[in-house]
Chain A
């Protein structure tokens, strides 16, 4: 029981009349890589976004490391620091360089010293093969590079779980490989991951 990281209990979610999530139950253990597949509009992304409360659930409960995510009494920002998220559209901050994108939250949210944050960030960037792009603005990076920076941004918070929302759907086919490689390495390294995708090729990895 101790290694359960995310618990989803009888979760229902409505968008108006639309019943998107119906009685979802699931448990994710530490180190697991869970892939959520299904046709578009089936609520995969919605489920993922409920885990860090970017969406509110209508009924049921979601626990992260024993803390109820959907309890307004709990500080959601503390939970979000432990839950990394990677978006389909990357959502890098366009007014900041790759490095600044990565170190912003560790410094401002976690309170890490700047030199320390830089060191961590550069090491992570090196890991995804983008150390030379540290001072580039997102607009100067390809989609695949942006997504790898976005993954690094999430990792820099040293999360306990990584949520991937269609991480390769917005990428050109030749860019997909680099991003998948990074994700594969993460999984091998023991990171708990939840990946929403429509691309079955991801599954094979």
Chain B
């Protein structure tokens, strides 16, 4: 059996299209996930019982069930309730964003709770209300602490986005599978797919540690 470099290289332009789709999925999902995570993370530290219970249920559900099941639930399950089918892309985004939102919520909660009690008291003692305290004092400090875990979450999401191949959304993995059905060269193609993921995750983790070092200076 010969390793066919030429097939691997010829697959790159099409895999590149998949790569772009993967990046789109990841960036949009993480972006929405950060917003969801901030909202639900704030609810998790709220003294309001209702907000706390809602956010805990959300976090527990999406962290306690497989992402693959969540993708099926959104893409196949929701249309039954809604009465109309969902497009693949928005369905994939919804599932990924809801999932990453749950993980971000825990990261945000941890960040908020790691801020020294003295900061809360100092903010309170000058007469700030809860939202002023959060906005000006607690969240700016919490977000700085959140950057390293946020980078990890971004990498995890990049890899997990390959799961939406099961609903035939043509991201990196799915593109690879499609090429294999034509070429019957699974080793070369899956290896190429894996290497492309590796390049992306390496670049991101370099970028994150660079950002961390920059933030440490001031």
Taking Cβ atoms with an 8 Å cutoff, the residues of A that contact B are 52, 54, 77-78, 80-81, 83-85, 87, 89, 91-95, 104-105, 108-110, 137, 150, 153-154, 157
Whole-angstrom distance from the CB of B215 to the nearest CB of chain A? 11
Q: Which of A54, A94, A150 contacts B124 (CB 8 A)?
A: A54
Closest to A150 in B: B122
Q: Tell me the complex Cα distance, A54–B218, Å.
A: 31
Interface of B is mostly: helix
B137 touches A93 (CB 8 A): yes
Is there a chain A Cβ closer than 8 Å to B184's Cβ?
no
The segment from B37-45, B80-88, B127-135, B156-164 found at the interface with A is B127-135
Closest to B118 in A: A91
Closest to B129 in A: A77
Q: Which residues of A contact B218 (CB under 8 A)?
A: 137
Whole-angstrom distance from the CB of A93 to the nearest CB of chain B? 6
Is there a chain A Cβ closer than 8 Å to B186's Cβ?
no
Q: Which residues of B contact A137 (CB under 8 A)?
A: 218
Q: Classify chain B's interface size.
A: 10 to 19
Q: Which of A89, A95, A154 contacts B126 (CB 8 A)?
A: A154
Taking Cβ atoms with an 8 Å cutoff, the residues of B that contact A are 116, 118-119, 121-129, 132, 136-137, 140-141, 144, 218
A87 touches B118 (CB 8 A): yes
A81 touches B126 (CB 8 A): yes
B127 touches A91 (CB 8 A): no
Q: Which of A81, A92, A108, A109 contacts B122 (CB 8 A)?
A: A92
Q: Which of A52, A77, A153 contacts B128 (CB 8 A)?
A: A77
A89 touches B128 (CB 8 A): no
B121 touches A153 (CB 8 A): no
Closest to B121 in A: A54
Q: Tell me the complex Cα distance, A81–B132, Å.
A: 14
Q: Tell me the complex Cα distance, A78–B116, Å.
A: 24
Whole-angstrom distance from the CB of A153 to the nearest CB of chain B? 7
Q: Which residues of A contact B137 (CB under 8 A)?
A: 93
Q: Tell me the complex Cα distance, A93–B124, Å.
A: 12
Known: A93-B137, A95-B141, A137-B218. A87 touches B121 (CB 8 A): yes
9 tightest A-B CB contacts, nearest first? A81-B127, A91-B122, A105-B126, A91-B118, A85-B125, A80-B127, A77-B127, A109-B127, A89-B118
Closest to A81 in B: B127
Q: Which residues of B contact A89 (CB under 8 A)?
A: 118
Q: Which residues of A contact B123 (CB under 8 A)?
A: 93
B144 touches A109 (CB 8 A): no
29 contacts between A and B (CB under 8 A): A54-B124, A77-B127, A77-B128, A78-B127, A80-B124, A80-B125, A80-B127, A83-B125, A85-B121, A85-B122, A89-B118, A91-B122, A92-B122, A93-B119, A93-B141, A94-B141, A95-B140, A95-B141, A104-B136, A105-B126, A105-B127, A105-B128, A108-B128, A109-B126, A109-B128, A109-B132, A110-B127, A153-B126, A157-B126
Whole-angstrom distance from the CB of B163 to the nearest CB of chain A? 38
Q: Which residues of A contact B128 (CB under 8 A)?
A: 77, 105, 108-109
Q: Which residues of A contact B144 (CB under 8 A)?
A: 95
Whole-angstrom distance from the CB of A100 to the nearest CB of chain B? 10
B127 touches A93 (CB 8 A): no
Q: Tell me the complex Cα distance, A143–B144, Å.
A: 24
Q: Tell me the complex Cα distance, A54–B123, Å.
A: 11
Whole-angstrom distance from the CB of A157 to the nearest CB of chain B? 6
Whole-angstrom distance from the CB of A109 to the nearest CB of chain B? 5
Q: Tell me the complex Cα distance, A129–B129, Å.
A: 31
Q: Tell me the complex Cα distance, A52–B122, Å.
A: 11
